[in-house]
Structure 1
Amino acid sequence: MRRYALSTLVATAASTALAILPATAASADTAVLTYGSADGNAVSVGDVLTASLASGTNATLATSSDGTSGITCTESTLSATVTANPAAPGTATESATSQTFKGCTSNTFGVLGVQSITVDDLPYSTAASSDGTVTVTAAPGRAIQTTVALSTLLGSITCVYQAPSLSAVSSNSDNSLTFTNQEFTKVSGSALCTANGYFTATYAPVVDSSVSGSPAIYTN
């Protein structure tokens, strides 16, 4: 990174798109999102899908796509509500309602601590396709936004970042959702805020928390 840490995510976000890549070809009556197995029960509209960081991994918010300095968070969660789940192949949709970050630190010169990382303006729309691609978008005319509050040698600063959309890849092998170097651009904040932020994180397993036992989610 450069002088100061920053970024966000997401929504958020999530922030925020909770589906998993197909492991096997779907039968004619299989839904895009199923739980328990790839040919399991269809996820119901209204069900809440949740995920935390994959075991042993962190969420990182870097100032460059290949940088090693910036913000590292040991905890992060996603939550989304299913709004449509058609037959496969197709695209399921979700409303990304929550993305949180905790245990965040920075190794950027001048940054003394990370006060908070907040995904703004939720919910966001999520499209989870049968090919495993997941796209998160804001309402028309808006952008995905994250606010980062930092303690620095010069006092507290607030950095606001936006992205037109976010992309992720899902996998049925470990029921994961992975964001890699998703770029945000600073739209307001102190001159100490870096111009860009790159979000990387893997969430696994993605589960249906509305079903007893919270079974893992698959995409077909």
Structure 2
Amino acid sequence: MRRHTVVAIAATAALAGLTFLPATAASADSAVLTYGSAGGNAVAVGDVITGSLAGGTKASLATSSGGSSGITCTGSTLTATVTDNPAAPGTATESATAQTFTGCTSNVFGVTGVRSITVNGLPYTTSAASDGSVTVTPAAGGSIQTTVVLSTLLGSVTCVYQAPSLSAVSSNGTNSLTFTNQPFSKVSGSGLCNANGYFSASYAPLVDSSVSGSPAIYTN
């Protein structure tokens, strides 16, 4: 019998992506995170930042880096709360609290459907530096983890994947955050689960939903 391979989408990856690259003309005394414009109003501690997939894009987890085989989702949302927003240059922090995925399908042989994608171990800590670097980390001693339940030709299969940390590339020009081929490894699941997964997604715009009009977020 041909061996069936399945993969889990790295849902936690996008939870890191709530900040953007430094603005080229930011105010010298602005906060790291501002809304409405670069160097504009400081995002307040406690504000909730939300985002969805950029128009016309999908979130995916490939079975190989840069590959086309794996799981794709047409919808995804993320939510995080700002926990610190110092003056620029500096590092802002956020608590990633939720993420959802919808419209998920797989083109992997033997997989007939995606039943659920669950982010485990929330919240995660996101650190966003003024130089544009963004990282997401779990609590001490933990891992970033997601669980996917898939329907296969052999029945329901549960795959659990982990990563020690994640990174992304952000842009003030498009108010976008892009993850490319972020690696995850299988920690539990049957032999039908793929050993690795490579997460890619672009979220735009990310906005301060606690402010009237939900203005876009910038990093300075």
**Global fold match (TM > 0.5):** yes
The equivalent of 2:8 in structure 1 is 7
Q: Is the 8 A contact 2:81 2:97 kept in 1?
A: yes
The equivalent of 1:135 in structure 2 is 135
**CA displacement, residues 119-149 of structure 1 (integer Å, 9 cap, x when unaligned):** 1110000001111111000000000000011
Work out the CA distance in 1 between the residues paired with 2:134 and 2:4.
32
The equivalent of 2:168 in structure 1 is 168
The equivalent of 1:189 in structure 2 is 189
The equivalent of 1:52 in structure 2 is 52
The equivalent of 1:95 in structure 2 is 95
Q: Is the 8 A contact 2:16 2:134 kept in 1?
A: no
**CA displacement, residues 81-138 of structure 1 (integer Å, 9 cap, x when unaligned):** 0000001011100000011111000001000011111111100000011111110000
Work out the CA distance in 2 between the residues paired with 1:90 and 1:4.
44
Unaligned runs of 5+ in 1: none
Work out the CA distance in 1 between the residues paired with 2:105 and 2:63.
14
Work out the CA distance in 2 between the residues paired with 1:103 and 1:37.
33
**Deviation of the 1:67 alpha carbon:** 1.2
Q: Which amino acid aligns with 1:58?
A: K
Deviates more, 1:60-69 or 1:192-201: 60-69
The equivalent of 1:26 in structure 2 is 26
Q: Is the 8 A contact 1:5 1:62 kept in 2?
A: no
SS in 2 for 1:109: coil
The equivalent of 1:70 in structure 2 is 70
Q: Which amino acid aligns with 2:157?
A: I
**Deviation of the 1:28 alpha carbon:** 2.5
SS in 1 for 2:145: strand
The equivalent of 2:111 in structure 1 is 111
Work out the CA distance in 1 between the residues paired with 2:53 and 2:27.
31
Residues matched between the structures, number: 218
**Deviation of the 1:48 alpha carbon:** 0.4
Unaligned runs of 5+ in 2: none
1:209 equivalent in alignment to 2:216:
no
**CA displacement, residues 47-106 of structure 1 (integer Å, 9 cap, x when unaligned):** 000000000000001111021111010001111100000010111000000111110000
RMSD across aligned positions (CA): 1.2
SS in 2 for 1:15: helix
The percentage of counterpart residues that share the same residue type is 76
**Deviation of the 1:39 alpha carbon:** 1.7
The equivalent of 1:82 in structure 2 is 82
**Deviation of the 1:27 alpha carbon:** 2.5
